[in-house]
Amino acid sequence: MSNSTQVYHVFIRATAEDIWQAVTSPERTAQYFYGTAIEVTPEVRTTVWQDQDMGTDAVLEFDPPRRLVHEWRSAYNPDAAGEPASRVTWEIEPRGDGMCLVTLTHDRLEASPKTAADVSGPGWMYVLSSMKTLLETGAGLPRAS
């Protein structure tokens, strides 16, 4: 199985606007994304973890509250930090009854095998599950070990 393109889906009982805020606001991301504060503007995605600047990545598409595409570098992992940037696409699709389908696609991982292995499966699933839990209950999941 190739990890060069990874696709994840999750249904969340929240509005597209609330999900967008959860993806782009440092106050919200810190509550579910391993304690990482991520701020997204139309130009850049800035990441801070444990008061350490983890860098900025280019934002390639910014279409609130439906679609966000940005580069991804694994600065948090010394083994993967030197790999080329990959790409993450967030798609938020309202489905009625106060629910949305969130599709996260992480691709362009061919030249970044350490990043691909690091984010695959439980990596992204924890982030998406914790975001869902936060938006539906008010608290994210406990930190995964």
Q: What is the pLDDT of residues 40-71, one digit of tens each?
A: 999 999 999 988 899 999 999 999 999 999 99
In a 3-state reduction of DSSP, which class is residue 51?
Answer: coil
d(CA 115, CA 25): 24
Q: What is the pTM of this model?
A: 0.93
Q: Which residues of the chain have pLDDT under 50?
A: 1
User: Domains along the chain?
Assistant: 6-18+60-137 (3.30.530.20)
Strand-pair category, 67-72 with 52-63: antiparallel
